Structure 1
């Protein structure tokens, strides 16, 4: 660049602009021409509809706005700068691009023939935050893969450069060592996420595989923000080992099916597989299980219509069968009848449900143990056992609050009022009974209490009979 060019106010403006925007590139062959790429990151992700499929993607980043600047000899006194605006691929509508070009001349007129490049570029930056006023973008489907990949790549690159305070270990970490939750955008370091979720899955606490922030799931006004499980797809992105994620997906599906009274299991004792169900498809690839699967899990386990017209609690009818009698085992492919559990006998054969005398010894022993050693959930009847702690229970299947002593439903907003009410004679001031797990010394109420009393008198009668026999002999 010669001395005359250095003294030219056009070169001075470009050099000053380059000090503000280091990414500005001055043309090596023309000292009065330059190019600049502006980041396009809308404050709200822009909906992009790809035609003709009409698939919609919400993109947080779009390919940069490429600005080509040429300053004519009579700039700035007599002529406006020559501006050309393009994008690669060409996602910006031509009329919007032309509007941005015309804005340069309008700004030059407004300044009365002054240097306007900084003001013009600042204006483009502000407009980029609103996607240049676009509420929706319609593009050809052949651009979809490139635009989606660009948005994801740039989002990750910018995230990796930032520094975050992990909400668990409270240590500052670079974004490259962190993960942002997809649904709520809370940030944690990968090490904390892996340790917590791996432990939850190994211990079987799949309902705890949620965002660890204390802000998630809190009540907000009259509405409660849903506290949802992470999807297997997101767990793989953290990343967690594939076998760990597969265990999570299978355990979650198992809990769903166990809480659904319409699911019937194979009558073959060596199989016991679940019936095929469109609602709970068999897991083939956890990498394809996205957020919708977690949504379905929440809806399946969330209790509906808990109260009846009299203010009591409705128990789910475990005998209801809203389906055809034919079922097929997903493991051994046996076709069987859901009523009598025999091999499929056709539509015109009358069948009866099995009674308790048809249970195997093992099934009967399991049933007796469950009745004797567990308290049923007040809503879904799932058997629950307490290892230690107070008698305020929360069902692991449907999250219903109930009393472990008498089986009564508890108001989740005031669960301990049940133990402070003198009217509840059996449970009054007995919140911590059996806290150490010594249930043999605890007197239960409800169904379990009646069985406990019956067992006591049965043993007492047996003792008296033995005593009488010994005296007579």
Structure 2
């Protein structure tokens, strides 16, 4: 009667730990080992190996201590039989004791039997002693705040302990109920997700929330929706994102994060190929003072080689970029204030020396264009620029032999070129020679005193 009452009480307290439907009156206790909070566990090699094969296959460094942080250990499996004289005269008979992470259990069984006192039920004390991890003190496994476990192969045991702890947390989380802070509805943990920060949201709400920002490209907001975390700018880890959104959306999220990092590097340029657009970093061996090679970029994705300035196919270090493209770039740079952040970004991306050379060349070309516009006339036949030093306005191009008027650029009849200057009503009528006053032609000479003549 006492045995039955004790067992019923234990079943009501630990419904998931007890099993009595085994043959030969054997009862099973599957007792979890729980620390409450996460503890540091150091798995230390005990100096022994299971077999000669393990000795040959296991490098020495794999026997070094491994520290992990967990909140539980794999359960202790205890098979026992309650004799008719229990608990008055005899203790429970332990059939077997199995602990995956504890190689030697003989002392463990002896201690359990020592805890029995005649007339008192001892199973509850056994369960609590094991469940609360108090038995670790008996085996001197606790060293300050660290739990030391001796094992023949630490590199094999440590991953098993970590995996069990994760599964235990997941199972416990799935059984509890949580209120989603978005929809304010209570859900079972199996339909929720706990983020690293500890906040819990139901999967449908979190999925809609993250999918919206991934679609819009706002990757910085793919994180915990809790106001405190939003204020801190806490972003989600890849494992969290993959557990919520589809594979395609997770790939886009990862691409957006990579793109954001690359965009923050001003030396990065993007491949000009429309179907590629991959980020191309500046080569490590690019010399800013070299003669043009620093402009070369080669896309690692499509192997396209191009100029970082004009985005055209690589035209060699000595060939200048097409004038309109280079001019637009220089005008953009010159429009920025000296010392401004935007100028600094361009200088870091393309090299300050390179931009200085482009600006100097642009100013020189601009001065040349202005002089050509004001001091020369283009041949209407071949467009070569011609400067008149002296003489009449009837010109004959030395290159294409075209007759033309130097004043207006009109083509002239080779058989009668002077008709252009002798026909009344035309704008060059009577202007074969340009009139220039004597005063304009006179250039005084230094040291010459005209009054002394």
Pick the TM interval, shorter chain. Answer: 0.5 to 0.7
The match for 1:124 is 130
Matched, 1:246 2:232: no
Q: How many residues align?
A: 310
The match for 2:51 is none
Which of the residues 104, 117, 122 maps onto 2:112?
104
SS of 1:76's equivalent? coil
The alpha carbon displacement at 1:66 in A equals: 1.0
Q: Structure 1: 5+ residue runs without aligned partners?
A: 1-6, 219-225, 280-318, 346-350, 383-473
The match for 1:230 is 236
Matched, 1:135 2:147: yes
SS of 2:279's equivalent? coil
The alpha carbon displacement at 1:361 in A equals: 7.5
Q: Structure 2: 5+ residue runs without aligned partners?
A: 45-57, 347-453
The match for 1:159 is 173
The alpha carbon displacement at 1:258 in A equals: 1.0
Matched, 1:21 2:14: yes
How does 1:192-271 map onto structure 2 within 5 Å? Answer: 192-216=205-229, 227-237=233-243, 239-266=244-271
In the alignment, is the contact (CA less than 8 A) between 1:38 and 1:64 conserved in 2?
A: yes
The match for 1:421 is none
In the alignment, is the contact (CA less than 8 A) between 1:166 and 1:173 conserved in 2?
A: yes
SS of 2:32's equivalent? strand
Q: Which has the larger radius of gyration?
A: 2
The alpha carbon displacement at 1:37 in A equals: 0.9
Q: Please list the CA deviations of residues 49-107 of structure 1 after superposition, one character each: whole Å capped at 9, or x if unmatched.
A: 698657776555543221222334554344433336644xx532235x44543332332
In the alignment, is the contact (CA less than 8 A) between 1:40 and 1:62 conserved in 2?
A: yes
The alpha carbon displacement at 1:262 in A equals: 3.6
The 1:251–1:278 alpha-carbon spacing in structure 2 relative to 1, beyond 3 Å, is farther
The match for 1:330 is 300
The 1:262–1:236 alpha-carbon spacing in structure 2 relative to 1, beyond 3 Å, is same
How does 1:42-441 map onto structure 2 within 5 Å? Answer: 42=35, 43-44=37-38, 47=41, 53=62, 58-72=69-83, 74-83=85-94, 86-87=97-98, 91-95=100-104, 97-108=105-116, 111=117, 114-127=120-133, 133=142, 135-137=147-149, 139=153, 150-181=164-195, 183-216=196-229, 227-237=233-243, 239-266=244-271, 273-275=278-280, 328-334=298-304, 343=314, 359=325, 367=332
In the alignment, is the contact (CA less than 8 A) between 1:328 and 1:335 conserved in 2?
A: yes
In the alignment, is the contact (CA less than 8 A) between 2:31 and 2:76 conserved in 1?
A: yes
SS of 1:67's equivalent? strand
Provide TM-score, normalisation by structure 2: 0.54
In the alignment, is the contact (CA less than 8 A) between 2:177 and 2:189 conserved in 1?
A: yes
The 1:22–1:78 alpha-carbon spacing in structure 2 relative to 1, beyond 3 Å, is same
In the alignment, is the contact (CA less than 8 A) between 2:220 and 2:233 conserved in 1?
A: no
SS of 1:102's equivalent? helix
The 1:29–1:84 alpha-carbon spacing in structure 2 relative to 1, beyond 3 Å, is closer
* CA distance in structure 2 between the aligned counterparts of 1:231 and 1:69, rounded to whole angstroms: 46
Q: Please list the CA deviations of residues 343-373 of structure 1 after superposition, one character each: whole Å capped at 9, or x if unmatched.
A: 598xxxxx699899673688679x589969x
